[in-house]
Amino acid sequence: MKFIKLKFGLKYLTNYGIAGIGLGCIASIVLIFITANIYLFEDFELKTLDLRFRLRGSIHSNPDKNAVFEDIIIIDIDDASLRNLGRFQQWPRSYHAEIIDYIKKGNPKAIGFDIFFIEEDKSYQEDFKLSQATLKAKNVVHSMVLSKSKDDLRSIKSETQKEKLLLRYAYDLAKNYKNHNIHKCNISSVPIVSLLENSKGLGYASITPDNDGIVRNVPLVMEYNGYMYPSLALEIARISLGAKKEEIKILPGRYVKIKNTNIPINKEGRMLINYVGPEYSYRYIPYQVILRKDIPVDFFRDKIILIGASAPGLYDLPSTPFSPVYPGVEVHANAIYNILNKNFIIPLNQRATLGVVIFLGALTGFFSSSLRLINSIFGVLMIMLSYFIISVYFFEVKNTWVAIIQPTLNILFCYLVAWIYRYVSIEQQVFSDQLTKTYNRRYFDIKIEKEINAASWFHSPLSIMMLDIDFFKQLNDAYGHLAGDKVLEEVSFILKSTIRLKDTVARYGGEEFVIILPKCESEQAYVIADRIRRNIAEKQFYDKFGTSIRTTISIGVATYPINALNKRDLVLEADQALYQAKDNGRNMVMVAGKLL
């Protein structure tokens, strides 16, 4: 007995499990096509990325001690420095020259300015001091602005001195990268000529947020006047690694290569920023402290120095996954840190994501189709929880961004599809006759109640037919029960193919059938019934040996509300009409109350 139960259980799991896997795969593919161009899901996915950053917190091994990353030092133009030194716009550029000269004594890898010196100072001496300090340091990177005008204005075509000097900082001709989607700019704001002549590097400091205003990536390269130009972070990283501009390889949609470092980028040239933690994860030193020379120069040895602002009044506080007010200079610091430490966030590619979605759909379909309701709900919840934990693990340990929204939505969708399938399958088993593939008596009792209520509400007629195969017992005795079953199957097929789409056929018991005909007068019901009678009388049936069998059918018709006002009486009237048809010689149709 236990073996029989086990065998039945395995067969059940196999039949429904395979069907569930198939349904899950099909539902997954359908969902992928439906959601492919719905950007709302992409926005939700970005929010899950922000959540994963916050769940991870700082990537430092011991963040509770408020340790900071010392490889990159930020010279911070903070509120205290502004209070002591005055408005930033009024600072003499010799301050920056002094900062460069002092820091350079410690031999840092690179010094980057997240500050723009686009216009010349009123004092020529101030610009001279800054440009000379830049020249002597030999590792200073200044910032520029590249942008695109909505009016599609073109930059000046004439070869101005700035335009000529700007070309020395270009990485390569943009025409070498055909069919790319890298952002094209037509407006530039570059440093003064003396800085262009003396800087080691030049990069744009543009920070462009996503549609929801949050900065999650940085464009590493942009095109201007037919040339590729680097971001501030990429240029500082290049100088820190000692790479020449000619050594930089760009493959849009895949990577930017510096020496042996492949930096993953999308088709627009953007790199996802792997934020190492919340704001102030790096060492911040107030600008005024460096200007006073309160920090030993050895502190700057082999480090990258970024000079930027965290003061709210200077409006360089973009929104990031960690904070709505995050110092822009630290965004660049994160990008530099990612490049130098090869610490990138890599999105799972489209094919792999498709495979994950289909696998989860198949798994969900299997559990949903094989288990009971409570167990299947628990199983699906476990799938979702496990997948969420796995996605967090891959993010925190493997630096891989695995999508959550579409796979989770797919799990729910596949679960719904599987249970619709189960409901239809169970309904078919509960309410259908396995031999004739028509509805059974139980379904008829439910259906006739609904149809009578509908007929009463809409004041429409409703007819039913009671049908009985004539001399069916003799047919079984003469040709065998297998032949009788075959006749029942073929009769049911004739019934279903003769009636209207809205009519319902049910096996009432044995060789008896019943048909419900909504919105059908008795005269119309008679025409349909007589057509059924003739089709069966003309039909030639065969047993398994090929012996020809002939049979006929008797039919009784009753109509609501003419013959009866409820189910019990309506069935009784049709049944009495059927017996009258049998008593009058069979192979005929009798309408309750009269003979047509």
User: Any idea what the CATH number is for the domain that residue 566 is in?
Assistant: 3.30.70.270
Instruction: Compute φ and ψ for 466, nearest 5 degrees.
Output: -105, 125
Torsion sign (Cα): 170, 173, 177, 183: positive
Given CA atoms 229, 231, 234, 238 in this order, what sign does their dihedral have? positive
Do the domain assignments include residue 55?
Answer: no
Q: Percent of the chain beyond pLDDT 90?
A: 59
Query: Tens of pLDDT along 532-571?
Result: 999 999 998 888 788 888 999 999 999 999 999 999 999 9
**Half-sphere exposure (CA, 13 Å, Cβ side) for 74?**
26
pLDDT confidence band for 198 (50 / 70 / 90) = very high
Do residue 436 and residue 397 come from a single domain? no
What pLDDT score does 60 carry?
63
Residue at 44: amino acid letter: F
What the block records as the tokens of 480 is: 């065998």
Are 358 and 321 found together in one domain? Answer: no
Backbone angles phi, psi at 29, to 5 degrees: -65, -40
Residue 154 scores a pLDDT above 50: no
Predicted confidence at residue 67, as pLDDT, reads: 52
Q: Do the Cβ atoms of 137 and 104 come closer than 8 Å?
A: yes
pLDDT above 70 (res 16): no
Tell me whether residue 596 is in a domain. no
Q: Which domain holds residue 298?
A: 62-342
Instruction: Give the burial string for 235-259 (b: 16+ CB within 10 Å, else e).
Output: bbbbbbbeeeeeebebebeebbebe
Model confidence band, residue 304 (pLDDT cutoffs 50, 70, 90):
very high
Residues 469/587, Cβ–Cβ less than 8 Å: no
Do 147 and 38 fall into the same domain? no
Domain assignment present for 238: yes
* Residue 205 pLDDT greater than 50, yes or no: yes
DSSP state of 553: E
Distances in Å between the Cα of 387 and the Cα atoms of 302, 357, 409 are 42, 11, 12
69 and 179 share a domain? yes
User: Are 162 and 100 contained in the same domain?
Assistant: yes
pLDDT of 350 > 90? The answer is no
Quote the Cα angle for 405-376-391, to 5°.
30
DSSP state for residue 89 in the 8-state scheme: G
- Residue 9: the pLDDT is 44
Shared domain check, 268 and 289: yes
Are 45 and 74 part of one and the same domain? no
151 is a domain residue: yes
Supply the DSSP symbol for 190. Answer: -
Residue 265 CA: distances (Å) to CA of 216, 252, 270, 363:
13, 7, 5, 33
**Residue 200 in contact with residue 100, Cβ under 8 Å?**
no
Query: Quick one: which H or E segment has residue 197?
Result: helix 193-198
Residue 12 has pLDDT above 50, yes or no: no
Instruction: Tell me, rounded to whole angstroms, the distance of Cα 326 from its chain centroid.
Output: 28
DSSP-derived secondary structure for 147-178: E--TT-PPPP-S--HHHHHHGGG--EEGGGST
Q: Does residue 586 surpass a pLDDT of 60?
A: yes
pLDDT tens digits for range 515-526: 999 999 999 999
Sheet architecture: strand order including 261-264: 249-251, 255-258, 261-264
Q: Are residues 375 and 401 in the same domain?
A: yes
Number of H-type helices and E-type strands within the chain: 18, 25
- Residue that terminates a domain, selected from 410, 427, 444: 427
The vertex-401 CA angle with 400 and 405, nearest 5°, equals 150
3-state secondary structure 234-266: HHHHHHHHCCCHHHCEEECCCEEEECCEEEECC
Q: Does residue 373 have a pLDDT over 60?
A: yes
Domain end among 427, 444, 467: 427
Predicted TM-score of the model (pTM): 0.73
Q: Is residue 240 part of a domain?
A: yes
Q: Is residue 44 part of a domain?
A: yes
Cα(505)–Cα(568) distance, integer angstroms:
18
Neighbour tally for 568: CB within 10 Å: 10
pLDDT tens, residue by residue, 390-436: 999 999 889 999 989 888 888 888 888 887 777 776 666 667 788 88
Q: Which segment of 49-58, 147-156, 423-432 scores lowest on mean pLDDT? A: 147-156
- Of 383, 354, 353, 351, whose CA–CA distance to 366 is shortest? 383
Q: How many domains does the chain have?
A: 3
pLDDT, tens digit, 9 for 90 and up, residues 179-189? 678 888 988 89
Residue 216 lies in a domain: yes
Q: How far apart are CA 339 and CA 220, in angstroms?
A: 11
CA atoms within 13 A on the CB side of 320: 28
pLDDT score, position 151: 60
Which of 307, 342, 377 is the endpoint of a domain? 342
| Domain-located, residue 407 | yes
List the beta bridge partners of residue 77: 309
Looking at the DSSP assignment, which residues form a beta bridge with residue 287?
Answer: none
Nearest-angstrom CA–CA distance, 26 and 16: 15
Evaluate if residue 302 carries a pLDDT over 90: yes
Question: Is 113 in the same domain as 231?
Answer: yes
What is the model's pLDDT at position 454? 92
Cα distances from 142 to residues 131, 151, 310, 330, 482, in angstroms, run 11, 28, 18, 16, 93
* In a shared domain, residues 336 and 382: no
Same domain, yes or no: 307 and 197? yes
Q: For the packed helices 405-431 and 2-35, what is the interaxial angle rounded to 10 degrees?
A: 130
Tell me, yes or no, whether 407 and 379 share the same domain.
yes
